[in-house]
Amino acid sequence: MLEVSIVKRLGDFDLDAEFACETHGVVALFGRSGVGKTTVVNALAGLVRPDSGRIAINGTTLFDSSQGIDVPPERRRIGYVFQEARLFPHYSVRGNLRYGLRRAPRGEGAIDFSHVVELLGLEGLLHRRPRDLSGGERQRVALGRALLANPRVLLMDEPLASLDQPRKDEILPFIERLRDDLQVPIVYVSHAMDEIIRLADTLVLMNAGHVAAAGPVEDLTGRLDLRPLTGRYEAGAALPAAVVGHEREYGLTQLGFAGGVLRVPALDLPIGAQLRVRIRARDVALALRPPEECSILNVFQGTVAEVGEDGGALVDLRLDVGDAPLWARITAKSLAELGLCPGRKVFAMVKAVAVDRHSLGRRAANARFVPAGASLPPDAGSGD
């Protein structure tokens, strides 16, 4: 459990943040610039002292103004990847990396130096000074430094913002592995819903110094009332799923979820592996009859459950597909022409391509979702 309930005044800015959530997996802090994300994370690390309140992680109280508890940062064992890299200018890259390593408790879950170096592509940089690094290189070193300190909890404040997509794609699985294999809980600040969906189990939505909502990513990203905070572009359903089969000849993997089986480009995961699949509303098309001779592999039969009122050119619809909610975004023109309204039966078409690596997150290792469709034959999706 991560329990945060703090009040802090900074100039004109009032932070009054309260949330509690599970710490297995990744907790994402999401919110607009200046809402107080960094301040919350600083308080967790012990770098900002709240005016009052309480912070506890897994039952250990780190701060409690009423009891006068304030564990110093170095004894919190909380790793921190800062928004600005904050590398030590007087150490080489190697020295920076070894700084936390030397002080880390040995054994138990410790990460290998050479492993981190290889993973973050730092081999050629070990002898450099921080000022001789590019922006992205700096952030990679900062990431490695925090990891090597073998933290109990890892705080990451927009760690990937200055990295290019291929590098992000390389590092994200590593963070996932940290989370899953090493069971390091991560508090992750990001503006990129992609990353959050992929990594996070829990989402803490912040707005103007307050926590607007906190809960499972699946729940919050599906809620229409939170759209102003989560962002319209990013709207969609995040669904728990499990690997139910592979179609090796075509390099596809079948994912069972409450609404059926989804085919996606092959995942190197065993059957039964737990995932979160994000299907963005913008990637779902609707048809009144099953499409024929069409490249769209995933077609699900469902019912229109709710039609959003957006007033613009685009309309969001919630569908019930089996037991799963699915969101579709179509034009108002199509809505009118197809005559869609709640209760109407439709076919939802989801391109296999649209469900790409960025939309798939491995769920925390202790998540257990057994899809209803797990017993279905591999081909039991509603046609293709």
- Report how far Cα 285 is from the mean position of its chain's Cα atoms: 25
Contact 104, 153 (CB under 8 A): no
39 binds ligand ATP (CB under 6 A): yes
Query: Residue 265 touches which of ligand ATP, another protein, its own copies, none (CB < 5 to 8 A by kind)?
Result: its own copies
Give the H/E segment covering residue 139. helix 135-148
Contacts of 250 (CB under 8 A, 6+ apart): none
**Alpha carbon distance 61, 144 (integer Å):** 27
Tell me the C-alpha to C-alpha distance, in Å, between residue 179 and each of 84, 260, 342: 23, 28, 40
Query: Residue 375 touches which of ligand ATP, its own copies, Mg ion, none (CB < 5 to 8 A by kind)?
Result: none
Least CB distance to Mg ion at residue 188 (A): 12
Contact 159, 139 (CB under 8 A): yes
Q: Which stretch binds Mg ion (CB under 5 A): 7-15, 30-38, 337-345, 376-384?
A: 30-38
Sole binder of its own copies in the list 58, 103, 105, 266 (CB under 8 A): 266
Give the H/E segment covering residue 136. helix 135-148
51 binds its own copies (CB under 8 A): no
Query: Residue 351 touches which of another protein, its own copies, Mg ion, none (CB < 5 to 8 A by kind)?
Result: its own copies
What phi and psi, each to the nearest 5 degrees, are found at residue 299?
A: -130, 130
Nearer to ligand ATP, 220 or 360 (CB): 220
Q: Which of residues 135-194 bind another protein (CB under 8 A)?
A: 145-146, 149
Sole binder of Mg ion in the list 105, 135, 290, 378 (CB under 5 A): 135
293 binds its own copies (CB under 8 A): yes
What phi and psi, each to the nearest 5 degrees, are found at residue 78?
A: -115, 115
129 binds another protein (CB under 8 A): yes
**Alpha carbon distance 345, 1 (integer Å):** 42
Query: Contact positions toward ligand ATP, by CB under 6 A?
Result: 10-11, 13, 31, 33-39, 83, 132-137
Query: Contact positions toward another protein, by CB under 8 A?
Result: 45-47, 72-74, 76-80, 82, 84, 86, 88-90, 99-100, 103-104, 129-131, 145-146, 149
